[in-house]
Structure 1
Amino acid sequence: MSIILEEALAAGNKDNNERKVVFYHLQQPAQKAALEALLKQHPHICVYDAFTAQLAELIKLRNPTQRLTDQQIQEHIREYLGSTPAAQLGVWVYYPWSYRLVHILDEAEFIELRTSRNQQKITTAERNKLAGKKIGVIGLSVGQSVALALAMERLCGELRIADFDTLDLSNMNRIRTGVHNVGTRKTVLVAREIAEIDPFIVVRCYDEGITDDNIDGFLTENGKLDILVEECDGLDVKILARLKARAQGIPVLMDTSDRGMVDVERFDVHPDLPILHGRVPATLTPAEVRSMEGPARMALVDSIVNFSALSPKMQLSLQEIGKTITTWPQLASAVMLGGAAIAHVCREISLGSDIHSGRYYVDLEQIFKTSK
């Protein structure tokens, strides 16, 4: 390996956990000077400035009854800018992991324009209500699709994401990312992608996953979660998260990526609801789950997901674990469907819809039945 390549690899790995953007408002002298210093220090930063194109789109959005000509749009832009150079308006956002500097509309106008194609399926009043919601996602395989759907529709103003794992190549059958990210924390990948979609959404990362020590902070620090989405593999964490969420009156959602099954537990409406619909003993503790081995653990999994209700191919797959495969399979189509279904339920619960606790199926194999 050449010295040049070794140095390049070292530089690439240096900021492998970077996931926070930096905002620069150039009308503030200190921030303008800081950005100039950054560009001088890193001359290889790529600059993207489509600010006036965003302005043009914003102007058309705000004048829906008019078919503005290009000349009229330019007149509106000049009126908007006044005597201020375009570079000093809006905000410059720096993405340190990719060395990109992007000029965008500032927060209120950015949100107005980015969510404009949601109207009226999500009204302005509903969008503003959703902006105050806090949603937590535990587990970022299925959880990545959930988090991205939440961010793209802007169904919350804050996301808390938890996963202790890093990306393996085998994860990429269902996690949308590039091969250059193998070995990167899943929390970092999700936080980066959300920041590149909408840098104004607050993302709080729990890189160690969920533990006895941090679960309370995850649920309540900086304000209680409005919804918890639990998508982790750890059986003890599934129990722990529900016991803690129930105590706080936080509803819990789960997708299993098989038959489009979505679990809804409305602890916000029914604080005495048995966890997992009473499918596990009421006295079961996370510590007891951790001590379970072999048949006892499989019996618990069966209690939670109900093996007999799984799709035929999933039932066959479970019989092959430890023989021809190492873990249960998950398909990208199922994971994306789960992300969409969970996002839908999050939106409806947040807006006050009366979605009851229970187990729901969006079973594509049943909807699109085929003869073989």
Structure 2
Amino acid sequence: MRKGTTADNSQNKQANESLEHPYHPVFLKLGNPNDKAIYEFIKNEITGVEIIDTILRQLKELLKIRNVKTWAEEDFDQLLKAQLGDTAIEEYGTWVYYPWSKKLVHLLNKDAFIEVRTNRNLYKITPEERLVLQSKIIGVVGLSVGQSVAFTLALERVCGALRLADFDTIDLSNMNRLSVGVQDIGVNKAVLAARKIAELDPYMDVTCYTAGLTDENMDDFFTRDGKLDLLAEECDSLPVKIKSRIKARSMGIPVIMDTNDKGLLDVERFDLEPDRPILHGRMKLFEGMSDAAVIEKLDRLTPAERLNTTVDIIGAENISDRMKQSLKEIGVSITGWPQLASAVGLGGAMVADVSRRILLGQYNVSGRYNVDFSDLVN
């Protein structure tokens, strides 16, 4: 849907190709002639574009942060002039276009944007720690609970890059626990999480694996543009849970999992314990088997073996009475594993907090932990 036509068809083609990404925003520097042409194309040739320009407000925050001790409102114009130099205000910073929402937003450049956006982290996270975290890559598998995990990691900027894997799409029944809108039904869960993160912080490097984590893409997921520094595993598939840990252990990558019910958090420090048993050695079915034998058996598990192994991993003592009642009803009166938004939110907070401390060398053990509100608040 375009307004009118433009004279340069090749330029239009190039611009359109830049706008086709399902979750990557388009970055435009107006000092670059090609970017300027795409900017004009978006503004003038695409119907329904919303232009959002709050750059002066952002610059005011930036200058106030950099001049805390001496800040005075009456000095803003002078400080702004020094900051802009010979650059016109429209050309300052970066314009970011979100194809899925047709929003064209004027933002600070990356370093200044991060400086302002994370300013209220100080000094719970120091500037030096922020730089360390900015270099880290975290993989998240399973974007139901994992959506809360990924978004909280992005909110705190616990890493500079995220890899998100999920084959599933949003259904109406997901909307008891996922922060989505009715317009998102049918959208891939990883793509939707990536879009939310891009709208929060377009400078986060996010890659989606919309087939989920598979045997075919696992190497790429773990190593693309650098090895993962940490894996947050939140998927429903037992084979993927185990295979991803075998891979992580072979590469010395720590794994975190929030099990949601009763606030159960698992931490496996394969980076510090290369011979540590997977899932704390709780899988009776696979005791004494080699990794190769485990992988081969995973592809031919019976439904009973899957269920019994899942219970072994979680531990019957870590399943709430309400969950036990619900499990009996799966396939009878309910179609899937029950989850509540409050528990999903707690899981995102726990994983983000522990991930940050692991990546900063502040937490250096493996373990299982319960943060159960029913026990803590009663």
Normalising TM by the smaller chain, what interval? over 0.9
Equivalent position amino acid for 1:334 in 2? A
Counterpart-to-counterpart distance in 1, 2:21 and 2:310: 34
> Aligned residue for 2:36?
32
Q: Provide, for residues 74-103 of structure 1, a one-character-per-residue CA deviation record: whole Å limited to 9, x for no partner.
A: 221122223321011100000000110000
Matched residue, 2:9: none
1:330 aligns with 2:339: yes
Q: Cα distance, 1:66 vs. partner?
A: 2.9
Q: Does 1:123 align with 2:132?
A: no
Name which of 16, 19, 22 aligns with 1:18: 22
* Correspondence 1:48-67 to 2 at 5 A: 48-67=52-71
Structure 1 counterpart of 2:305, which letter?
A: A
1:286 aligns with 2:295: yes
Q: Which residue number in structure 2 is paired with residue 352 of structure 1? A: 361
Residue-by-residue CA offset, 1:260-303 (whole Å, 9 max, x unaligned) = 11000000000000000001124262342332223222211111
Residue 363 (structure 1) shift? 1.0
- 1:307 is matched by which residue type in structure 2? A
Residue of 173, 176, 191 corresponding to 2:176: 173
SS for the counterpart of 1:65 is coil
2:94 pairs with 1:85: no
2:261 alignment partner, SS class = coil
Q: Aligned runs of 1:173-252 on 2, under 5 Å?
A: 173-252=176-255
Deviates more, 1:71-80 or 1:244-253: 71-80
- The residue aligned with 2:51 is 47
Q: Quote how far apart the aligned CAs of 1:253 are.
A: 0.5
* 3-state SS of 2:104 partner: strand
Alpha-carbon distance in 2 for matches of 1:320, 1:357: 34
- Equivalent in the alignment of 2:6: none
Cross-structure match for 1:340: 349
Match of 2:262 in 1: 259
CA contact 2:354–2:363 (8 Å) conserved in 1: no
Q: Secondary structure at the match of 2:24?
A: coil
Deviation at 1:325, TM superposition (A): 1.4
Higher mean C-alpha deviation, range 44-53 or range 281-290: 281-290
The answer for the alignment partner of 2:276 in structure 1 is 273
Alignment partner for residue 375 of structure 2, among 354, 366, 371?
A: 366
Contact kept? 2:145, 2:344, Cα under 8 Å: yes
Contact 1:90 1:105 in 2 (8 A): yes
SS at match of 1:264: strand
1:209 is paired with a residue whose SS is coil
In the TM superposition, residue 306 of structure 1 has moved relative to its aligned partner by 1.1
- Name the CA distance, whole Å, in 2 between partners of 1:161 and 1:223: 15
Identity value in percent? 49
Shift of 1:16: 9.6
Identify the residue that residue 8 of structure 1 maps to in structure 2.
none
Does the CA-based 8 Å contact 1:17-1:184 persist in structure 2?
Answer: no
Aligned AA (2:66): R
Q: Which amino acid aligns with 1:51?
A: I
Q: How large is the RMSD of aligned CA atoms in angstroms?
A: 1.4
Aligned length: 354
Q: Secondary structure at the match of 2:206?
A: strand
SS state at 1:259 partner: helix
The CA deviation at 1:329 is: 0.7
The answer for the alignment partner of 1:9 in structure 2 is: none
1:32 Cα deviation from its structure 2 partner: 1.0
- Partners of 1:107 and 1:88 in 2: CA distance: 15
Instruction: Give 1:245 shift.
Output: 0.5
- Bigger drift between 83-92 and 338-347 goes to 83-92
CA shift for structure 1 position 214:
1.0
User: Is the 8 Å Cα contact of residues 264 and 318 (structure 2) preserved in structure 1?
Assistant: no
Distance of 2:169 and 2:296 partners within structure 1: 25
- Partner residue of 1:160? 163
Counterpart pick for 2:72 among 68, 87, 99: 68
How many Å apart are 1:323 and its aligned residue? 1.8
- Give 2:12's aligned residue: none
- 1:105 matched residue in structure 2: 108
Maintained 8 Å contact 1:16/1:184: no
Shift of 1:316: 1.4
Cα distance in 2 between the residues matched to 1:37 and 1:172: 36
Task: Tell me how far 1:320 sits from its aligned partner.
Answer: 1.7
Displacement of 1:336: 0.5
For residues 183 and 241 of structure 1, what CA distance do their matches in structure 2 show? Answer: 26
TM-score under structure 1 normalisation? 0.92
State the match for 2:99 in structure 1: 96
